[in-house]
Structure 1
């Protein structure tokens, strides 16, 4: 009788252990599923947050947009009457302004060609405080498609940034919309010549270019026809303004 009871107890104990093991396995599965779901929710949430921040960082308000109907090459030295000041596009000379920082104004007809290649042209008033100028200069790194220069023409604000067909104004260099504008449109792809170079051509300021062109004219040369005058970029290689030897 005692042996029968012991065997029954062993079976009961085995059943209890099995039930306990199954219970622990279910608990582990629930914890595993909960952990996976939590991780997925966190990852999805992080991705959504990053996407939101990226969209937010590229959301720019107060951007004026313009239709640029003509962007032909005109003879180097022939002034172009632009509708906007500073210009956002239009006819231009066959060479382009090298991207970079300039202490003096640059030639609009060259800078517009840079815009055509996807550059952003940041102009500032000549009397902009030095600390503001330094902040603008700090926005440029080697290889960037940025032209930064003072501008002596009329501007609606102390700082005006232009890309092809677009423009934004700013009172200070740390204006968040200005920063977003540069991030969004520098190396722009919705331009006539996306990916074209922004170096290897004109490094002179507007005053230096005027001197070069004036000197060529004084020698009886026909302007700089060898550099351009083409109606389009096809079939005509852009050449820089060459200094006299």
Structure 2
């Protein structure tokens, strides 16, 4: 083999190595980068959804009170007139005299009641009124409520449910009257909070959860 041939072969090998470094290897590097970006974006999206659904609590959630230590000897809330508890056809709208309702006509099963827990949108009143009929407490907060306070409410709801007060619905309400930030409802009872107050929040739930005023308080 001549010197010239060996030199050419070495040059050819170097060119092949360069093509591998800048070609296939580069493509794999770019492909790996895109996969990493997609994975990170997916994780962020899942975290945002989880936070919105209330599965992740912000730092403020730790600032909630002990729901079992609240004195409930004095009744909180205003008694409302009972409007009955007749069923209407699912999908039929009810003209409630005031909102949010604390009694009245509502949709039957299976359209209502809704599963208990934290919601990210407002249920139809014809649904949530059925929740009240079963002795539940439906809590509304203004749509512009700070994320810190929403976190606190969600933490309180979880604590109350863990303490046995499981029939709670917490949801935002875009049409909240300006004079209120939080409204708690039970069958024939309402509590309007101009500012979020943890103590009366917990008192209302503990006093009216599965209360005797609800027509079907024993239903889960």
Distance 2:85 2:123 in 1: 19
Residue 72 (structure 2) pairs with residue 57 (structure 1): yes
Distance 1:117 1:98 in 2: 12
For the residue of structure 2 that corresponds to 1:67, the secondary structure is coil
The counterpart of 1:160, out of the listed 183, 188, 191, is 183
For the residue of structure 1 that corresponds to 2:97, the secondary structure is coil
What is the aligned partner in structure 2 of residue 235 from structure 1? Answer: none
Distance 2:141 2:213 in 1: 25
What is the aligned partner in structure 2 of residue 222 from structure 1? Answer: none
Q: Deviations over 1:153-210 (max 9, x none)?
A: 243401000000110011343342222111111122321111112xxxxxxxxxxxxx
CA shift, 1:114, in A, is 0.4
Distance 1:58 1:82 in 2: 32
Aligned Cα root-mean-square deviation (Å): 2.2
Residue 118 (structure 2) pairs with residue 101 (structure 1): yes
Residue 147 (structure 2) pairs with residue 147 (structure 1): no
Q: Deviations over 1:115-168 (max 9, x none)?
A: 000000000010011111111111223571100000122434010000001100
Residue 68 (structure 2) pairs with residue 68 (structure 1): no
Distance 2:157 2:191 in 1: 18
Distance 1:178 1:169 in 2: 10
Q: Could you tell me the TM-score, scaled by structure 1's length?
A: 0.54
Structure 2 unpaired stretches of 5+: 1-68
For the residue of structure 2 that corresponds to 1:139, the secondary structure is helix
Distance 2:192 2:105 in 1: 23
Structure 1 unpaired stretches of 5+: 1-53, 198-245
Residue 108 (structure 2) pairs with residue 86 (structure 1): no
Q: Could you tell me the TM-score, scaled by structure 2's length?
A: 0.60
Distance 2:198 2:81 in 1: 26
Task: Number of aligned residue pairs: give it.
Answer: 144
Distance 1:60 1:70 in 2: 23
What is the aligned partner in structure 2 of residue 21 from structure 1? Answer: none
